Amino acid sequence: MDNPFLALAAPGISGLHPYVPGKPIEELERELGLSHTIKLASNENPLGPSPMGAGAASGVIDGVNLYPDDAGFRLRNALSKRFGVAPEAITLGSGSSDVIDMVARAFLAPGRNAVFARHSFAMYPIYTQAQGAGSRVAAPFPPDHARMPYGHDPSTLLDAVNAETRVLFIANPNNPTGTWMTRDELTGLLDRLPSHVVVVLDEAYIEYVEEPAFPNGLDLLPHYPNLIVTRTFSKIYGLAGLRIGYGISAPDLAAVINRVRHPFNVNSAALAAAEAALNDTAHLTRSREVNRAGLRQLSEGLASMGLRCIPSMANFITVDIGRSGSDVFESLLRKGVIVRPVANYDMPHHLRVTVGREAENRRFLEALAEVLER
């Protein structure tokens, strides 16, 4: 039977496919009676949370009868000092997805549209559709592209923009492909965009990037008043469970975005943890090292099985396994290894694997070899 409330839902909601999160370890162990399972599915930090961040979060638990600081004064000041921007330029969110949603709620509506690339972050179409706005999906570079297979193509993104476009979403590096746009590609696109388009430059993985030619969105902000750069404490800082991220933009743009922000949208533990984690350089450095080594281990291991990976700048790698990703995902589950099938990203023959610690990566590679042999 059809759900009778679907007919009552706001425009866009009845056709909306909700986000499918990575499978939690506890759920898999409960369902299959397994133990010692590993999860390389949600791009979480395998080293755990920033110890300084986690310590600061525990330190404020006794005060949670009080509402958090709605302005996030201390964290916004810390970010302001760190990045050399005004505190008014910073929008705090319950995860950066909250900030991305605020942009959609502030600028999208029926009759308007958002532009983004195929195989990009799953929340862009969801937030867009929830506003009753249209999605214009740009073709990425083809799989045989010399420099950046599956990467964002600036010319198709620009072609997709029309008079009704209000938001352009770009993830750099992109999830689920790990691909990235160069500084020239990005600025070439931004220079040609009409001023009625707000650009969300989603830099959830930028702290992992070690490529010197990679464009830092914050350097572009002074030149592009319609740009908002979003970042998160969920990935390299290891604070995904606390939900905190932020956007940086011209203060005028931030003021409009903040009109739709929920009161107290960031909780006190998250505010304290983020402020402390910002200074946890030891955890940051170690996380980068483990990721660099793990990316190499995974790409070499997968290549030695004759599989083709998409070159990645992030903390995950996406590989073409030449058959149904969902089937291989299921077989890996039975071996206690959780990865991410990406059919919902239009990539039915790929799997996305988060970079883990050495032993976890090895266990994944061994399990995959066994599954593919059968």
Ligand X SMILES: *Cc1c(COP(=O)(O)O)cnc(C)c1O
- Between CA 348 and CA 323 the distance in angstroms is 8
Residue 194 C-beta: closest distance to ligand X, Å:
25
Residue 369 C-beta: closest distance to ligand X, Å:
27
User: Closest CB to ligand X among 235 and 335?
Assistant: 235
User: Closest CB to ligand X among 97 and 129?
Assistant: 97
**Rounded-to-10 torsion of CA 358, 359, 365, 370:** 170
Residue 82 C-beta: closest distance to ligand X, Å:
17
User: Closest CB to ligand X among 232 and 312?
Assistant: 232
User: Closest CB to ligand X among 127 and 141?
Assistant: 127
C-alpha 358 chain-centroid distance: 23
User: Closest CB to ligand X among 79 and 371?
Assistant: 79
User: Closest CB to ligand X among 232 and 361?
Assistant: 232
Ramachandran quadrant class, 191 (left: phi over 0; alpha: psi -120 to 50; beta: rest): alpha
| Residue where the block lists tokens 């940051």 | 284
Residue 342 C-beta: closest distance to ligand X, Å:
12
Q: Strands 134-138 and 113-117, how do they pair?
A: parallel
Residue 335 C-beta: closest distance to ligand X, Å:
26
- Between CA 232 and CA 247 the distance in angstroms is 9
- Between CA 275 and CA 41 the distance in angstroms is 27
- Between CA 61 and CA 65 the distance in angstroms is 9
Amino acid letter, 285: T
In the complex, residue closest to ligand X by CB: 95
**In sequence order, what are the beta bridge partners of 230?**
202, 247
The H or E element that residue 266 is part of is: none
DSSP letter (8 states) at residue 373: H
Residue 33 C-beta: closest distance to ligand X, Å:
30
* Residue 229 contacts residue 79 (beta carbons within 8 Å): no
Which residues bind to ligand X, rule: CB under 6 A?
Answer: 43, 95-97, 121, 171, 175, 202, 204, 232, 234-235, 240, 245
* Residue 171 contacts residue 165 (beta carbons within 8 Å): no
User: Closest CB to ligand X among 189 and 239?
Assistant: 239
Residue 370 C-beta: closest distance to ligand X, Å:
29
Helix (H, G, I), strand (E, B) or coil at 304: helix
